[in-house]
Amino acid sequence: MKKLITAALVSFSLCCLSTAALAAAPIKIGALFAVTGPASFLGEPERNTAQMVVDEINKAGGVKGRKLELIIYDTGGDATKAVQLANKLIKNDEVVAIIGPSTTGDTMAVIPVVEKANIPLIACAAGMKITDPVKKWVFKTAQNDTLAVARIYEQLKKEKKSKVAILTVSDGFGSSGREQLKGQAAQFGMEIVSDDTYGPKDTDMTAQLTKIRGSQAQAVICWGTNPGPAVIARNAKQLGLTLPLYMSHGVSSKKFIDLAGDAAEGIRLPSGKVLVADLLPKSDKQKAPLLAYIKDYQRHFKAEGDHFGGHAWDAVMLLKGAIERGGDTPAGIRNQLEATRGFAGIGGVFNYSAADHAGLNKDAFVLVQVKKKDWMLVK
């Protein structure tokens, strides 16, 4: 009889331990970032930030008593590879949500995969087409290029400049930006007097800039991600082009200044507020999280936390909030993401809804200018 009781107690104990182990199983989150390749200036800070935030969440006890397990894969900025890795995260790793990818092209390629699998995706790329039209399982943290274009055009209108030249990269991000630059021109009274493109791997854009110099343009707007825009800045300086040069938010980091060197001086672009966090008024809802993020990133990586790493910070924190409110199932996370209101993050104050999976308005952008190898607010 004693042996039976002992066996029963052992069995019960093992059952309890097994149940506890299951209850404490980590919540698996996938991440796709371009850590290497041409877009590594996006993916590396995103990777660093995502892991940093997850580690801090786990150190503080996790989410509802459970640790987060972040499974990161490097896409290299390759859309085909991004699709393969998305499938791996879903089928092999059994993640409940995915953060990333870093680029618009990779993200657009991955969208059919997550939509078919009913897995929420929080993209870190900016292209408007990612969430417009709305896809049930797809959200984003990077500010829309729609808002970035409007911010530039507003400034040009304020300065009574109406003739612009546009120079856009021939990839997903550049195509989306070009579409917005052309689509919003009439609304702001802008006339596009030169419309040209360049390739993602091009190393000299002198021909396009020479053509612009011969036009009636009063300003030049370049739309792309590094290194192309830095090459354009240097080429413009070499040509002695004195027209105001605007860049997209796709180069919103110190990396652009490093690449462009002295040619970066005076260049303007719309950016998230992280570049000028210390210049924001105390009343700004984002100031506290921005300063905390910058300090945290500096402590971990001996570098400045930037606009792009901020996209990953927002994605992880948005997932954390969704899991806290709606549980760890993909459907529960998706529903709570869509219900998110008033979340003050790095990229802006997010208000998602059934009709809006981008969640930001034009207040997410400030206009910044390079002065003495640093970013300053344009007032």
pLDDT digits (tens, 9 = 90+) for 32-69: 999 999 899 999 999 999 999 999 999 999 999 999 99
State the CB neighbour count (10 A cutoff) for residue 313: 28
Q: Is residue 373 part of a domain?
A: no
Specify the pLDDT at position 357.
98
Cα–Cα distance between 95 and 114 in angstroms, integer? 11
pLDDT of residue 9 exceeding 60, the answer is no
Q: Is residue 228 part of a domain?
A: yes
Q: Which of 17-21, 180-184, 229-233 has the lowest mean pLDDT?
A: 17-21
pLDDT digits 0-9 by tens, 149-166: 999 999 999 999 999 999
Q: Is residue 310 part of a domain?
A: yes
Residues 306 and 322 in one domain: yes
Q: Are 306 and 254 in contact (CB under 8 A)?
A: yes
Specify the pLDDT at position 341.
98
Residues of the domain holding 193: 146-271
Specify the pLDDT at position 11.
52
pLDDT digits 0-9 by tens, 177-192: 999 999 999 999 999 9
> 312: closest CA among 94, 63, 32, 71?
32
Confidence of residue 23 (pLDDT cuts 50, 70, 90): low
Specify the pLDDT at position 17.
43
Confidence of residue 172 (pLDDT cuts 50, 70, 90): confident
What one-character-per-residue DSSP string does 79-94 give? HHHHHHHHHHHHHTS-
Specify the pLDDT at position 14.
47
pLDDT of residue 140 exceeding 50, the answer is yes
Q: Are 169 and 223 in contact (CB under 8 A)?
A: yes
Residues 164 and 132 in one domain: no
Residue 251 belongs to domain with CATH number: 3.40.50.2300
Give mean pLDDT, residues 119-137: 95
Residues 19 and 134 in one domain: yes
> Which of 227, 243, 271 is where one domain is finished?
271
> Which of 271, 303, 331 is where one domain is finished?
271
pLDDT digits 0-9 by tens, 245-264: 999 999 998 889 999 999 99
Residues 256 and 309 in one domain: no
pLDDT of residue 2 exceeding 80, the answer is no
Residues 151 and 259 in one domain: yes
Q: Which of 4-8, 18-22, 271-275 has the highest mean pLDDT?
A: 271-275
pLDDT of residue 16 exceeding 50, the answer is no
Specify the pLDDT at position 65.
94
Average pLDDT, the chain: 93
Distance spanning both ends of the chain, measured CA to CA: 85
Our count of domains for the chain comes to: 2
Dihedral (CA of 136, 140, 145, 148) sign: positive
Confidence of residue 19 (pLDDT cuts 50, 70, 90): very low
Residues 308 and 354 in one domain: yes
Cα–Cα distance between 260 and 223 in angstroms, integer? 15
Residues 175 and 258 in one domain: yes
Specify the pLDDT at position 217.
98
Give mean pLDDT, residues 195-221: 97
pLDDT digits 0-9 by tens, 80-120: 999 999 999 999 999 999 999 999 999 999 999 999 999 99
> Which of 238, 271, 304 is where one domain is finished?
271
Q: Give the 3-state secondary structure of residue 312.
A: helix
Residues 64 and 163 in one domain: no
